[in-house]
């Protein structure tokens, strides 16, 4: 699909593409260059919720995610306490 850039550097995303990907007026988009190619991404309205999306697919809420993270931190802290105790003996 071909588009033309205006003198201000603007392009129009064709209606069928906007519809296919659900782009709406006011959406924030990210343009990224990688290996000589340009990629266009829509930025999520709520990046925190989007980052937890994999857990949402499993029926987890943000509270569940926070609880899981807290448990991980507690386990990590306990591991370091055991290490410090061991290191003092040596």
- Residues 47-57 have pLDDT tens digits of 777 776 666 66
Q: Give the closest residue to 55 by CA, choosing from 44, 39, 67.
A: 67
Residue 7 has pLDDT above 90, yes or no: yes
Q: What sign for the dihedral angle of Cα 84, 88, 89, 90?
A: positive
Give start and end residues of each alpha helix (H) in the chain: 15-21, 47-51, 53-56, 62-89
- pLDDT, one tens digit per residue, over 23-68 is 899 998 989 998 999 998 888 877 777 776 666 666 777 788 788 8
Q: What are phi and psi of 25, to 5 degrees?
A: -60, 135
pTM of the predicted model over 0.75: no
């Amino acid at each position: 699909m071909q588009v033309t850039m205006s003198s201000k550097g603007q392009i129009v995303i064709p209606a069928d593409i906007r519809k296919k990907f659900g782009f709406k007026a006011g959406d924030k988009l990210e343009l990224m260059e990688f290996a000589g190619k340009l990629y266009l991404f829509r930025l999520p309205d709520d990046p925190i919720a989007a980052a937890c999306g994999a857990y949402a697919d499993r029926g987890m809420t943000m509270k569940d995610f926070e609880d899981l993270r807290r448990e991980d931190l507690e386990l990590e802290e306990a591991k370091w306490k055991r290490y410090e105790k061991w290191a003092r003996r040596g």
